[in-house]
Structures are given as C-alpha cells and as structure tokens.
Amino acid sequence: MRASDAERERVAEILREAVAEGRLEMEEFDQRLDAAYKARTHGELEPLVRDLPAVGSSSSASAVAQPRAGSAARWSERIGRPATSTGGFAFWGGFRRRGNWTVGKVFTAFAMWGGGDIDLREANFESRETVIRCFTIMGGLRVTVPPDLGVEVRGIGIMGGFGEDTKDESAPAPDAPRVRITGFALMGGVGVEHKRSKAEKQRLRDADRQRGRLEKGDTP
C-alpha cells in the first residue's frame, strides 16, 4: 500500500523520540530518517521502526497507521481526553508533571518549602478551556508551555514573583486550547515559560533540512 505524508511523518516522530532516548546513534538516525522521507510504501516504512517502541506505547508494530501523540499531534487530537492529573502538592519536596499526560480542566498546584514543575509541551487537555491555579509559600512553581499555546497569566506576588517569560512566545494557534494561570506566590515564585520541546526543535530542524533537499531537487 502506498504511504501518505502523514504516515511518513509519524515514522519520523518515532525516530526522533528514539534518538532523544539514546536508542539510536545520530548516524543511524540520519540514515533512517532519510529513508522514511523517501519511502513510497508501507513496506518501506515498517522496517525503519520495527525494532523501536512507538511514541506513548511499548510497541511499534502498528505505528505507521496510528495517530501521533504529544506535540507531534494536531491540537484537535490533544483536546477532549480523560484527565490523568488534576493537581500537584509539594511540602518539603517536589512534584513533576511532564511528558504525555492529560491536564484536567482545573489543575491546582501547591508548594510550600518545595517546588513543582508543570510541563504542557507534550500534554493533552481534558477541555479547550483550562485553568491552572498555582499557590506557593516560600517555594517555587514553574509552568512550561509551547510557544503557540494561548496563555493568560493573572497572579499575585507578595514578597515574591508571579511572572511570564514571553521571549519565545508566538501567536496562539487557532485550534489550540486556552490556558489561564492564576494564584499567588508568598515569599516564593511562580514562573511561566514559553519554550519548545527537544522533539519539536528536532522536527523543525528536520523540516528545514527536507526543504533544503527539495529546493536542490533531491525529492523523496
């Protein structure tokens, strides 16, 4: 069966995750990625990921036909999933939410003499409208979001800070969810950072490289 552009991109995503996890050396990654973009059929794609786990699962046997996960998926595919977490708590310690998880419609984070890390770059969303409530007392909370996610930050810092780093912010995607971040920081801090994931940066580099090949006439 002839392979589609979407199927070639799904295989490329598995290869990127594999090199990021140390399963592939860069030289082998480059060879397989080049072969993926040149592949015409499923039979040419499947051997490239047969020995690798699919993104978000333990097997890649049906990876060619499966929808993409995390930031590789379209925003519409990442909204409306059952929540896997609706809060985080840290007291003399820390908590972390990152990777392929689903944030609840309302997520409440609290840190006292501790810290928390909330990473939305690979996350899915229970609702298109999401509220993240951050409260910290002599502690710190960090929220990391992709540049094209719509974010509104409304928090109060009391002898502390509640702020947003917008240097990597871009225009929100039309179909992206809206996230409102509220709360307060008492003698502590809450920081919101716009930042691309390593996998997303690798996808952009691969896309630039592929465009360069096409411009030179080296088509798949």
Higher-pLDDT residue of 207 and 28 is 28
DSSP sequence for 110-136: EEESSEEEEE-SS-EESSSEEEEEEEE
The CA-atom distances, in angstroms, between 137 and each of 86, 99, 144 are 20, 26, 20
Q: How many structural domains comprise the chain?
A: 2
Please indicate, yes or no, whether residues 79 and 140 belong to a single structural domain of this protein: yes
Containing domain of residue 171, as a range?
Answer: 75-194
214 lies in a domain? no
pLDDT at 169: 73
Best CA proximity match to 24, nearest among 36, 42, 40: 36
202 lies in a domain? no
The two structure tokens encoding residue 186? 């008492």
pLDDT band at 190 (very low <50, low <70, confident <90, very high): very high
Mean residue pLDDT of the chain comes to 84
pLDDT at 214: 61
Please indicate, yes or no, whether residues 60 and 108 belong to a single structural domain of this protein: no
pLDDT band at 61 (very low <50, low <70, confident <90, very high): very low
pLDDT band at 43 (very low <50, low <70, confident <90, very high): confident
Residue 60, pLDDT above cutoff 50: no
203 lies in a domain? no
Residue 58, pLDDT above cutoff 50: no
Phi/psi at 89 (nearest 5 deg)?
Answer: -135, 135
CA distance 98 to 106: 17
The two structure tokens encoding residue 13? 């995503």
pLDDT at 27: 85
The proportion of the chain whose per-residue pLDDT surpasses 70, expressed as a percent, equals: 83
Please indicate, yes or no, whether residues 82 and 185 belong to a single structural domain of this protein: yes
pLDDT in tens, 118-163: 999 999 999 999 999 999 999 999 999 999 898 999 999 999 999 9
Residue with tokens 């409306």: 80
Query: Average pLDDT, stretch 17-39?
Result: 85
pTM summary value: 0.65
Please indicate, yes or no, whether residues 152 and 82 belong to a single structural domain of this protein: yes
